[in-house]
Amino acid sequence: MNSQAQAPAAPQFRAVHRYARMTARKARLIADAIRGLHVNDALEVLEFAPQRAAAYYKKIVQSAVANAAQSESVNVNRLYICECKADGGPLLNNRMRFRPGPQGRAMPFRKKTAHLTVVVKEMGEQ
């Protein structure tokens, strides 16, 4: 065993938006763009991103920063996004819907939802 005491890990603060009315595939484009960025840089990217998911992620990042601000030991100016993901949620109302198709047939379509998660952490000493 290692006799040296390891430094405690920096606390992580998370914010989640569940059942967002968008597909996880489209939300992942924004999640990939802001993962690993400093919080202020991520908010600037989200401000000017044209995708609809950017508005959702902007509020989630702000919520995660507010969660971190509750802890007095954390400097909110040193936060970065350590984890950012978009997972698929259930279908809206848990069912498929139908629209008219060619030759009198019914064509199914799905109204998808997503669970959006952002985890922020304070940068280590470098």
Whether residue 31 contacts residue 84, with contact meaning beta carbons closer than 8 Å, is answered with yes
Confidence of residue 3 (pLDDT cuts 50, 70, 90): low
Give a yes or no: residue 81 inside a domain.
Answer: yes
Q: How far apart are CA 37 and CA 45, in angstroms?
A: 10
Give a yes or no: residue 5 inside a domain.
Answer: no
Return mean pLDDT, the chain.
Answer: 92
Give a yes or no: residue 20 inside a domain.
Answer: yes
CATH number for 70 = 3.90.470.10
Report the largest interatomic distance among the alpha carbons of the chain, rounded to a whole angstrom.
75
Give a yes or no: residue 4 inside a domain.
Answer: no
Give a yes or no: residue 7 inside a domain.
Answer: no
pLDDT, position 124: 79
Give a yes or no: residue 114 inside a domain.
Answer: yes
pTM to 2 decimals? 0.86
pLDDT in tens, 101-123: 999 999 999 999 999 999 999 98
Residue 101's domain spans which residues? 12-122
pLDDT in tens, 43-86: 999 999 999 999 999 999 999 999 999 988 899 999 999 999 99
Q: How many domains does the chain have?
A: 1
